[in-house]
Amino acid sequence: MINRILRAFWPGVAGSPLWAVSRRYAWAVPVVALLSFLATTLEGLGIGLLIPLMGTLLATQPTEPTGLLATTIRLAGTTDPNTRLVVFGVVILGFVVLKSLIQAINTMFIAWVDGRAGNDIRSALSLQLFNVGFPFFLDEGRARLLNILSTEAWRVSDALRTRFKILVDAISALVFTVLLLIINWKLTLIVVAGAVVIRTIQVNFVRRVQTMSDEVSLSNVHLAERMVRTIDAIRAIHVFNQEEQEHRNLAVASEGVRRSLFEIERLSAIAWSMLEVALAVLFIGLLIGAHLAGTSFPILFAFMVVLYRFQPLIRGLSGANIALAATEGSVREVEWLLDPSGKPAPPRGALSFWRLSGPIVFDRVSFTYGSAGKAPALHQLSFTLERGRTTALIGRSGSGKSTVVALLCRLIEPDEGRILIDGVPLNELDPRSWRAHLGLAGQDVDLIDGTIRENIEYGEPGAALDAIVEAARMADIHEFIDDLPDGYQTRVGTRGLGLSGGQRQRVGLARAFLRRPDILILDEATNAIDGLSEAAILSLVRDSGWQPTTIVVSHHASTLAFCDDGVVIDRGTLVESGPLLELAASRNMSFAAELNGVRQPTSRQAQ
């Protein structure tokens, strides 16, 4: 039962992923409730004592109070008026001090819980990004994810704070209602009737704001999409004179956000003014009711003081309910990202991988991107990568080469067929231990915003400088780095844009070389590097005595000239495979002449 109440209070639906993340702070709910109860009770007692205090000041005795209140007055009545004034004054002050202290503790406690739960939610979201399979990122827009991480996560944390506010205000309202009943039950009935009317008005607004909150989230995603696109494509935007069009698009998206937020503000403003009018009607009704019932002044005074304190609670509850409704879209978005169902699972496998001692075999592997019905990117593809040899993956654009690379890196998994590593299915290997033996350098080098050294040692954190320098030498970039004023500590800028395309690729190569992996994958990794430098790099790798099983995807004939074997694919199916020279000769491929001219590949035996 308590659990059910807690779940209803917490953001997110009961049993939801958000509940799973934040439930460890659910114990804070009864603590906040207790502290609120104590603070309001102390305040209520202080206000209650105003009745005898006023009675003393006006030299009259209220006739209506009963029970505890009457007893207090009677007790105080045994002393002379001056002493009574001092006693009531000191006691009221004591209550106020104690109440303020508890209230401050409660506020700090809520901030602590809210901060920690918010932190946990953000941390769970970031963890989730690593716990879903890579295909998720192929299907989902970056903007939606960015919006959830940067905006919606904060709004959910705000929602939690708002819920605490509702709890505090609701408990205070409850205590004050009891106090009002003690002071005068008839007037209290008028208040309760007024509260019911106010609540009815509010429910209608809350529903409309809830609907609007989904629109706010949606328009935020549109805006984020536009912003991401502008930053990503700034070069193309300038070159193709699209500044005005893109600015217009951004302005339209921004206008969408403004409009949906304004609609919420508009609804809130109307709700507020209706609330003000309803409260004024309530006050006037009370005064008339009190007059007709012949209520004494001290009683009416205390009642009005309680009601005066009650008023911000009603406003607070009303505002918080609307604010909460406005965050429902955000809660849904965060819930969606945290929910693992319907999202691709990350690669699994329990067997540790130590070293490659045999071939890598693609055995009738098929893979289709996205939904069923699309043409497969790979269809029943079979070939063998011999250990210690360099194999060129050859095929026209869109033939499936990068898909083969993604499968090897276990970013995606075959729909059918198997990839065998020394005879063991790849999907049985622990992905982390498998990837620890991979070195990948590609045309889109994923450089991080850090120093050159941080980028090279990204796969081997804490690597010795000597090893880093050696890897940089092999990638033919050491001298360039050495000449920079900050050397290896030079920052590369966002996505390495402070370097030229060729320099970026060399840093990417050094990163792959530093690991000295068993399997080296060069996915168009030298296409921005001139032929001579490329030849120098590949010769250095060859002469270093390190003989990884290498997969090369390149459109450069000069790169292919360094390969032993070739696998030719077309529209995801195998055309042929074998020693590269034989393939070149049999198919009269365009690079055959260059292959023969540059180098006669010698078959190297696997170690």
Ligand X SMILES: Nc1ncnc2c1ncn2[C@@H]1O[C@H](COP(=O)(O)OP(=O)(O)OP(=O)(O)O)[C@@H](O)[C@H]1O
Q: Which is nearer to ligand X, 321 or 399 (CB)?
A: 399
Q: Which is nearer to ligand X, 401 or 453 (CB)?
A: 401
Rounded to a whole number of angstroms, the minimum distance from the CB of residue 342 to ligand X is 18
527 near ligand X (CB under 6 A): no
Window contacting ligand X (CB under 6 A); options: 164-172, 397-405, 409-417, 510-518: 397-405
Q: Which is nearer to ligand X, 173 or 412 (CB)?
A: 412
Rounded to a whole number of angstroms, the minimum distance from the CB of residue 369 to ligand X is 3
568 near ligand X (CB under 6 A): no
Q: Which is nearer to ligand X, 415 or 422 (CB)?
A: 415
Long-range contacts of 373-380, Cβ-Cβ distance < 8 Å, separation of 24 or more:
375/571, 375/572, 376/415, 376/572, 377/403, 377/572, 378/403, 378/404, 378/407, 378/414, 378/569, 378/572, 378/573, 379/571, 379/572, 379/573, 380/416, 380/417, 380/573
- 383, 382, 416, 378: which is closest to 399 by C-alpha? 378
- 202, 192, 207: which is closest to 318 by C-alpha? 202
Q: Which is nearer to ligand X, 268 or 558 (CB)?
A: 558
Rounded to a whole number of angstroms, the minimum distance from the CB of residue 544 to ligand X is 28
Site for ligand X in 337-396 (CB under 6 A): 369-370, 377, 395
Binders of ligand X: how many residues, by CB under 6 A? 12
Rounded to a whole number of angstroms, the minimum distance from the CB of residue 528 to ligand X is 14
Which residues does residue 552 pair with via DSSP β-bridges, in sequence order?
392, 522
Binder among 400, 517, 548, 566 for ligand X (CB under 6 A): 400
> What is the DSSP pairing of strand 390-394 with strand 565-570?
parallel
Residue 372: C-alpha distances to residues 249, 327, 572, 574 (Å) = 33, 36, 16, 22
> At residue 568, what are phi and psi to the nearest 5 degrees?
-100, 125
Q: Which is nearer to ligand X, 15 or 398 (CB)?
A: 398
Distance CA 180, CA 385 (A): 84
Q: Which is nearer to ligand X, 11 or 395 (CB)?
A: 395
Ranges of beta strands (E only) in 353-423 are 360-367, 378-385, 390-394, 416-421
397 near ligand X (CB under 6 A): yes
566 near ligand X (CB under 6 A): no
Site for ligand X in 495-524 (CB under 6 A): none
Window contacting ligand X (CB under 6 A); options: 193-201, 215-223, 398-406, 590-598: 398-406
295 near ligand X (CB under 6 A): no
> At residue 66, what are phi and psi to the nearest 5 degrees?
-130, 180
Rounded to a whole number of angstroms, the minimum distance from the CB of residue 438 to ligand X is 18
Rounded to a whole number of angstroms, the minimum distance from the CB of residue 443 to ligand X is 8
401 near ligand X (CB under 6 A): yes
Distance CA 365, CA 563 (A): 23
312 near ligand X (CB under 6 A): no
Rounded to a whole number of angstroms, the minimum distance from the CB of residue 456 to ligand X is 25
Rounded to a whole number of angstroms, the minimum distance from the CB of residue 406 to ligand X is 7
Rounded to a whole number of angstroms, the minimum distance from the CB of residue 398 to ligand X is 4
Distance CA 495, CA 505 (A): 12
Query: Residue 307 has which token pair?
Result: 């009601």
Q: Which is nearer to ligand X, 311 or 402 (CB)?
A: 402
Rounded to a whole number of angstroms, the minimum distance from the CB of residue 143 to ligand X is 17
Measured distance between the N- and C-terminal CA atoms of the chain, rounded to whole angstroms = 67
Residue 181: C-alpha distances to residues 178, 303, 364 (Å) = 5, 9, 80
Rounded to a whole number of angstroms, the minimum distance from the CB of residue 390 to ligand X is 18
Distance CA 67, CA 57 (A): 22
Binder among 138, 193, 269, 448 for ligand X (CB under 6 A): 138
Do 259 and 212 meet the contact criterion of CB atoms below 8 Å apart? no
399 near ligand X (CB under 6 A): yes
185-232 helix and 297-326 helix, angle to the nearest 10 degrees: 30
Q: Which is nearer to ligand X, 140 or 255 (CB)?
A: 140
Distance CA 177, CA 120 (A): 37
Q: Which is nearer to ligand X, 179 or 419 (CB)?
A: 419
Amino acid occupying residue 416: E
Strand order in the sheet with 416-421: 378-385, 360-367, 416-421, 424-425
Binder among 402, 427, 490, 533 for ligand X (CB under 6 A): 402
Q: Which is nearer to ligand X, 413 or 470 (CB)?
A: 413
Query: Residue 317 has which token pair?
Result: 């509850």
Per-position x/- string for 30-69, each x denoting binding to ligand X as judged by CB under 6 A, each - no binding: ----------------------------------------
Rounded to a whole number of angstroms, the minimum distance from the CB of residue 394 to ligand X is 10
DSSP 344: P
Q: Which is nearer to ligand X, 389 or 401 (CB)?
A: 401
User: Which residues of this protein are in contact with ligand X, per CB under 6 A?
Assistant: 138, 369-370, 377, 395, 397-403
